[in-house]
Amino acid sequence: MTKYVYSFGEGKAEGSSGMRPLLGGKGADLAEMTNIGINVPSGFTISTEVCTYYWEKGRYPKSLEEEREKAVSKLERAMGKGFSDRENPLLVSVRSGAAISMPGMMDTVLNLGLNDKTLLGLIKQTGNERMAYDAYRRFIQMFSDVVLEIDSEKFEEILSEKKKRLGLKYDNELSVDDLKDIVRKFKEIVRKEKEESFPDDPKKQLEMSIDAVFKSWGNKRAIEYRRLNKIPDDLGTAVNVQAMVFGNMGKNSGTGVAFTRNPSTGENKLYGEYLIDAQGEDVVAGIRTPSPIAKLAEEMPKSYAQFSEITQILEKHYLDVQDIEFTIENSILYILQTRRGKRTAQAAVKIAVDMVKEKLITKEEALKRIEPNQIDRLLHPQIDPKAKVKAIAQGLAASPGVGCGEVVFCADDAVTASKEGRKSLLIRRETSPDDIHGMAVAEGILTSRGGMTSHAAVVARGMGKPCVAGCEAIEVSEKKKEFIASGKKIQEGDVVTIDGGSGNVYLGKVAVVEPKITDEFALILKWADTKRRLGVRANADDPESAKKAREFGAEGIGLCRTEHMFFGKDRLPIMKEMIMADDLPERKKALNKLLPMQREDFIGMLRAMDGLPVTIRFLDPPLHEFLPSHEELNIELATLKLQDKNPKRQKELDELINKVASLREVNPMLGHRGCRLGIIYPEISEMQAQAVFEASCILKKEGLNPIPEVMIPLVSDVKEFINQKKIVDEKASEVFEKECVKVAYKVGTMIEVPRAALTAGKIAEYAEFFSFGTNDLTQTTFGFSRDDAEGKFLHKYVEDKILKENPFEVLDQEGVGELIKMAVKQGRITKPDLKVGICGEHGGEPSSVIFCDGADLNYVSCSPYRVPVARLAAAHARIKG
Amino acid sequence: MTKYVYSFGEGKAEGSSGMRPLLGGKGADLAEMTNIGINVPSGFTISTEVCTYYWEKGRYPKSLEEEREKAVSKLERAMGKGFSDRENPLLVSVRSGAAISMPGMMDTVLNLGLNDKTLLGLIKQTGNERMAYDAYRRFIQMFSDVVLEIDSEKFEEILSEKKKRLGLKYDNELSVDDLKDIVRKFKEIVRKEKEESFPDDPKKQLEMSIDAVFKSWGNKRAIEYRRLNKIPDDLGTAVNVQAMVFGNMGKNSGTGVAFTRNPSTGENKLYGEYLIDAQGEDVVAGIRTPSPIAKLAEEMPKSYAQFSEITQILEKHYLDVQDIEFTIENSILYILQTRRGKRTAQAAVKIAVDMVKEKLITKEEALKRIEPNQIDRLLHPQIDPKAKVKAIAQGLAASPGVGCGEVVFCADDAVTASKEGRKSLLIRRETSPDDIHGMAVAEGILTSRGGMTSHAAVVARGMGKPCVAGCEAIEVSEKKKEFIASGKKIQEGDVVTIDGGSGNVYLGKVAVVEPKITDEFALILKWADTKRRLGVRANADDPESAKKAREFGAEGIGLCRTEHMFFGKDRLPIMKEMIMADDLPERKKALNKLLPMQREDFIGMLRAMDGLPVTIRFLDPPLHEFLPSHEELNIELATLKLQDKNPKRQKELDELINKVASLREVNPMLGHRGCRLGIIYPEISEMQAQAVFEASCILKKEGLNPIPEVMIPLVSDVKEFINQKKIVDEKASEVFEKECVKVAYKVGTMIEVPRAALTAGKIAEYAEFFSFGTNDLTQTTFGFSRDDAEGKFLHKYVEDKILKENPFEVLDQEGVGELIKMAVKQGRITKPDLKVGICGEHGGEPSSVIFCDGADLNYVSCSPYRVPVARLAAAHARIKG
């Protein structure tokens, strides 16, 4: 028969810390502490299996009642107290405790066991009538709320009224008589609401409370929390029933919370606070100011010494920082709870390194202790935690860091501000490639639309620039150059601060703290490098970003998007000229103007990455992205015609509209882009290849070591690749001959449509490397347009758990991952030493990096600021794998 | 050592009909005929290997010269004639001949061996000086053109001038002296152009001619022909050198061409024509009218009997209709060529059936003889071949059949015409779903843009309506209601005829012949049904099409697109109401209006298909397709604002624009459509499910046997499917309970994005059937938007052989096919009896049908008019597999 109830107490427990799934975190730790000799109030844990049983079948297992009765008897014996004992009554707490902590989400009942008779016993035991009545009224209110489901407001009203009438501010100013009156009134409410009196049999109280806690697993709050934190619904909670101890029994009693090390800084020093003559909830209630834990050494030296020793025992036992709750009842120290202490990223790093130095844990364990996502924050400035500010709006934390400046509402204004030496913050409803030059000079970007992978978010992350995206709480008017947030109108020139790490938007300039790449952090990354197999490169489109990436440890550029280079103010007009060209000679003329600029781009990139590979992707977006929109042009034309104005512009518009119409596409994502451009307009690929090789030759002559890797985008058939490779190889020979220098180079391809993955074996016959473009591969594998899906249905999909994650943030291993594995396998059958990488957004997302390691990729490539994250995740892949 | 030259003659040949790849079609057949005792002029064939050798290495194999010399000697001995022999000169023809016939594409030289001296021998032998000089001048001109590459115009000028001066009309009116003068002048041209005299050594002539023919494999015409007919470039041609025989040696000579059976009707009767005292080219030159072959029995009874016998021998030898060229030289009958006779679809069917009846071939062989694509034409009216008409333009043959009517330029005008009893032809630049109601009533559709799979083409094929698409030769002005073709302006109301089988557009009404489903055709399809394993269903959206499909042998509906039902004039406004609804109650109100209409739709479909399954796909397109375009609305609004007019409409427009803007998508193909609609708006799926089951119950109560199969579109994850299946199942129970009737039904899914194929094993746990939507699956697997790719790059891809075929016409077996095989395999592992079909356009394309058979699908589904094609192709799959 399944055992459902596990007792602990008197130095012995039926459970242990290994039984978290069954006993929940709290229950397992209580058992574990009991077993290692820590003084824990006795009690028992009802397992999570009872919870899942209940939620599956709508009733409890038959054997539960008997087991519970036995456990209660055992507890009574252990404590030398009894339920309903008028002399020495047993009071207990009933608490939830799942395997994964869900703080505050489920219900708790304290002081259970009280009734008019046992109350007298409590008074006798404690000699504190006021405390006993206070406990009683609290119990009635809590039980009524949690178990009887009577609106808590009704009880609060009586309390408030009483205090108001007496002119009191705090509950603890109430006299014993006041409390007696309140208890009487509370009971009346119960009678009125439930048409029966408050249950005064402690066993009944216990049964009802346990039932309520199990049911609270299914309350809205808990469901929502699990949804947000991706906790499975079938995990279930355990219920812990534990003897109450009281920290409010006078001067020899107290209660507190402490961390074995400082959770903010990581400093190895007991950190926490306590209150004398108080209950746990008083510490957080803010009525009295708790004292720092060090002061306990003066006030209760014996207890402090005892506690201090226990914290050491617990940290050594769990080999991690502990967050410990204690109560001192009449000089006896009880430990109520210990758990892994939460910590800041900075503390996590310091603690991990210190613990290695203290020989408590291995380097591998230290690496495991740090969540890769967490350290992202260490690389960006943060809002000063001491700053007293209130956000005026909150959007998505799209790209970390703090940005502050005068608000501007178009890219050109950002450029003007920059030229005049003013810092600006670019506010847009959403951004488009036309805004790139403005984004590049702004201190940060704030948009009211778009998700975590909107244009603004992706580009900002690439640039390492703070971005708050999809901030729907603000109303942007680009025409009026203003936005409204929290009822305030913010106009062009007003100073605003955004925090891309939290998504908060603040009015005015907010103080920040600069990130420190501490020695410990550098050490952790060094350890990670020794453990990882995967290479880590960066996605960067300009020398500045490339340099940054190198500082962060990038071992090359995995993706340099050449199109971003054409959106610059000086290039866009020439690009337009090229697109508008009527014939080949005209187009070549425009391309010849772009050639020296593009050559300079590549010189900059290859110089910054001297000695490391730079993967240069040829032009990818459809050409119409470089032209104004069909709709705007048509509205302008219609307007001019109606007014019979400016015939010259009308003619110009007519031509432009014709060109735009001929280029316009129904589904640009699946349209004339990628290598399809280079195949229809080989002269574009020729120009780009020439620029790559001329740049390489120039650097080589300077004595540098440029390593260019040309990457052909959007290949779906090997013949497309062959077509483009031929152009590249021919240009290379031509340039090398002219320059009398040779530079080693590779030509490879993006794998970003399913067919490329499916025919990878053939493509590998010609391609020297693969790089998975998982953004587009995700779009085509799911048939999801990123631009449309996130706003229209993807959010709901994740909310309703139709998909576990947004596949544009976390790589979909089941579908997209399957294609990746297939392609790697087939590619390596053809070419065993084929180099394979990934350059989608996923290259910097830890779980995706771990997948890439398992799929045997050679490297991941991500935005510069994610490089340390990827380094650590790559180490995790090896350690945890 | 490789043998390059194969002789034939004197009843014995070194080659045979099995050696087509090596000897080409003509060479192999000449050898074969020689071997079976047919009197063929002797000669030899130089193999295709020499051609490929030459095109690879730029020179000929070393041993070729010696082999050729030997073959010439053998030929001289066989004919008792000699090169350069002044008494009895050997004259030969040099002809190309590839394994796959490329008529007229490569070069030929006749009468080779003539010079001033052998000419005298020819005169002596034939006693016909005029004929000899005529042959000489023809040889010089042909050789100069083909071998020496002198512009043929220069020779024609001399001929024309001569005839003009003499007042003659035809070449054959020239006297011997005239011809002598012409020969002299021809030689002068050669001397002038080449700075040397005309080569008079026959061996030199031969060597040069052979070289020229091999080189003609690489001429532009031939390359273009191969590109169009998908003949590989590395096949190469053989060269046939054969002794000349002359049909122009007087009354006992003649020449002709005949088919063993009538190639138009299939009638089993010798069919052809001949000329007495003439050379082969005279038959086609049109100077003299040839006589029907039957007349030869009167004019040359002995030769006719001989020929008639030989035709029987050849047909029985090759077991197929033969197309035979013959020459009678002084009463001796020579067979110059025999080949498989080309035939019309109608003839192909009759001949195949007749030959089975005559016990010449098996039923299987008969089925093999008919190309599935060919019979498509038998199901549509055709332009009367006797009608003397000239096309004014030609576009893509997008949907077969002839359509004739007054031209209209918008859907509404087509509807008006229809109401007034006038036949109309809808002309559009391109069509959109908004045009459906017009397309439905028009006699045919003509568009100036879009490819074989454009909206117009796909919908027209589905409706079985003639369509010429992408007719770029016409200029359509929808505003002016006119189009321009061949310089003519055609206005609204003018009558035009289109032939969707050829892509031709004619002015006025053109006579047509109605298709006959002959007994033979019915028999062939019956035989096909006994051989095939694959089921054949039809894609149909209305009862009319469903009935048609059933007539053509469809065994159910594989795809009923419910969205087409909402584009009707009476429904579109309600659909718009539903979309514009601000909240759920409003949306439900609109849906309630659609419910009875949708129910009637399904009653119609299920009734037409009583006893057969009807697969009903739930709403698929994005909702914005039902609303006007953002751009049009904005232009209207801008115009009204500027004119300060109609404030009410302005307000309306503002609202409409907001809604359209919120629904508008960057990539609608990958946007909020398919099951994503039903998940976000479950009430839509509920309404559709209710309509399906209410319709089913009504029919069941009538005593019919409705078999509905609900199909969920665009599933990418099993959870999407589970979500929608739940709605369907719940509605079914609800309706069955209310109606007190139960109807068996299935719920399955489209597999149309790669992820569905990749996770098919999981989806099959819940889905009762799969249907591959290969249109969308092709789009997502390649990352090609069909709407954009065909106009922008796909055409070029096929032209440049980057892709062998347009993957939207012929299923891409390598990529898309791989996903299909994967999904079938995984799906059947989960559910061994999983029913799997295909409902993309490919379901009616023969090579794709054969693939589907191999991939173990249960059925294909295609447009009603393609059902017979699919039945035959499915039989081919089994017979040829």
Can you spell out the DSSP letters for B69-94? HHHHHHHHHHHT-BTT-SSSB--EEE
Structure tokens that stand for A878 in this block:
């090896």
Q: pLDDT at residue B285 above 60?
A: no
Q: Given this model, what pLDDT does residue B562 score?
A: 92
Minimal CA separation from A673 to chain B, in Å = 10
Report d(CA B384, CA B391) in Å as an integer: 14
Q: Is A411 helix (H, G, I), strand (E, B) or coil?
A: helix
Higher pLDDT, B224 or B857: B857
- Is B785–A665 a contact, with Cβ atoms under 8 angstroms apart? yes
- Chain B neighbors of A642, CB-CB under 8 A: 639, 642-643
Q: pLDDT at residue B283 above 70?
A: no
Instruction: For residue A283, name the pLDDT band (cuts at 50, 70, 90).
Output: low
Per-chain mean pLDDT for chain A: 92
For β-strands A12-13 and A92-98, DSSP reports them as unpaired
Q: pLDDT at residue A415 above 90?
A: no
Minimal CA separation from B635 to chain A, in Å = 5
* Interface mutation target, options A653, A676, A787, A790, chain B, most CBs of B under 10 Å: A676
Higher pLDDT, B5 or B441: B5
- Is B759–A815 a contact, with Cβ atoms under 8 angstroms apart? yes
- Is B671–A789 a contact, with Cβ atoms under 8 angstroms apart? yes
pLDDT digits (tens, 9 = 90+) for A79-103: 999 999 999 999 999 999 999 888 7
Q: Given this model, what pLDDT does residue B881 score?
A: 64
Least confident interval from A91-95, A282-286, A473-477, B610-614: A282-286
Of A866, A871, A863, A865, the closest CA to residue A561 belongs to: A863
Q: Given this model, what pLDDT does residue A255 score?
A: 93
Q: Given this model, what pLDDT does residue B490 score?
A: 94
Report d(CA A382, CA B704) in Å as an integer: 72
pLDDT digits (tens, 9 = 90+) for A607-625: 999 999 999 999 999 999 8
Instruction: For residue B565, name the pLDDT band (cuts at 50, 70, 90).
Output: confident
Q: pLDDT at residue A460 above 90?
A: no
The 10 Å Cβ neighbour count of residue B534 is 23
- Chain A neighbors of B668, CB-CB under 8 A: 666-667, 785, 788
Distances (CA, A) of B736 to B595, B608, B739: 17, 22, 5
Q: Kind and range of the H or E element at B520?
A: helix B519-531
pLDDT digits (tens, 9 = 90+) for A737-763: 999 999 999 999 999 999 999 999 999
Q: Given this model, what pLDDT does residue A516 score?
A: 66
Rg over CA atoms, chain B: 33
Of A116, A128, A126, A140, the closest CA to residue A172 belongs to: A128
Rg over CA atoms, chain A: 33
* Predicted complex ipTM: 0.80
pLDDT digits (tens, 9 = 90+) for A359-379: 999 999 999 999 998 888 788
Instruction: For residue A656, name the pLDDT band (cuts at 50, 70, 90).
Output: confident
Structure tokens that stand for A867 in this block:
């490089």
Which amino acid, residue B840?
A: G
Residue tagged active-site, from A437, A455, A564, A842: A455
Instruction: For residue B597, name the pLDDT band (cuts at 50, 70, 90).
Output: very high
Instruction: For residue A451, name the pLDDT band (cuts at 50, 70, 90).
Output: confident
Report d(CA B765, CA B743) in Å as an integer: 22
**Measured between CB atoms, which of B630, B793, B802 is closest to A672?**
B793
Report d(CA A283, CA A291) in Å as an integer: 10
The pTM (predicted TM-score) of the whole model is 0.80
Task: Name the phi and psi angles at B735, rounded to 5.
Answer: -65, -45
Report d(CA A864, CA A465) in Å as an integer: 11
Residues B824-848 as b or e (16 or more Cβ within 10 Å = b): bebbbeebeebbbbbbbbbbbbbbb
Could you confirm whether A455 is annotated as catalytic?
yes
Structure tokens that stand for A50 in this block:
């009872």
Q: pLDDT at residue A280 above 80?
A: no
| CA dihedral sign of residues B728, B730, B734, B737 | positive
Q: Given this model, what pLDDT does residue A285 score?
A: 55
Structure tokens that stand for A97 in this block:
């405790």
- Is A669–B780 a contact, with Cβ atoms under 8 angstroms apart? no
Structure tokens that stand for A775 in this block:
């953004």
Q: Given this model, what pLDDT does residue A631 score?
A: 82
Q: Given this model, what pLDDT does residue B630 score?
A: 83
Structure tokens that stand for B605 in this block:
């479909």
Mean pLDDT of B78-106: 90
Q: pLDDT at residue B453 above 70?
A: no
- Chain A neighbors of B803, CB-CB under 8 A: 717, 719
For β-strands A746-751 and A707-712, DSSP reports them as parallel
| CA dihedral sign of residues B270, B275, B278, B282 | negative
Of A681, A678, A694, the closest CA to residue A596 belongs to: A694
Residue tagged active-site, from B51, B404, B437, B455: B455
- Is A719–B792 a contact, with Cβ atoms under 8 angstroms apart? no
Minimal CA separation from B620 to chain A, in Å = 13
- Is B783–A670 a contact, with Cβ atoms under 8 angstroms apart? yes
Report d(CA B507, CA B474) in Å as an integer: 13
Per-chain mean pLDDT for chain B: 92
Q: pLDDT at residue B413 above 80?
A: yes
Angle (nearest 5°) at CA B609 between B604 and B614: 90
Q: Which residue is closest to A680 within chain B, CA to CA?
A: B793
Q: pLDDT at residue B286 above 60?
A: no
Q: pLDDT at residue A104 above 80?
A: no
pLDDT digits (tens, 9 = 90+) for A622-638: 999 888 888 888 888 88
Q: pLDDT at residue B636 above 80?
A: yes
Q: Given this model, what pLDDT does residue A821 score?
A: 98
Could you confirm whether A317 is annotated as catalytic?
no
Q: pLDDT at residue A245 above 60?
A: yes
Q: Given this model, what pLDDT does residue B315 score?
A: 96
Q: Given this model, what pLDDT does residue B760 score?
A: 98
The percentage of residues in chain A with a pLDDT greater than 90, rounded to a whole number, is: 69
Instruction: For residue A287, name the pLDDT band (cuts at 50, 70, 90).
Output: low
Mean pLDDT of A428-450: 86
pLDDT digits (tens, 9 = 90+) for A169-215: 877 788 999 999 999 999 999 999 999 999 999 999 999 999 999 99
Angle (nearest 5°) at CA A714 between A713 and A718: 95
Instruction: For residue A128, name the pLDDT band (cuts at 50, 70, 90).
Output: confident
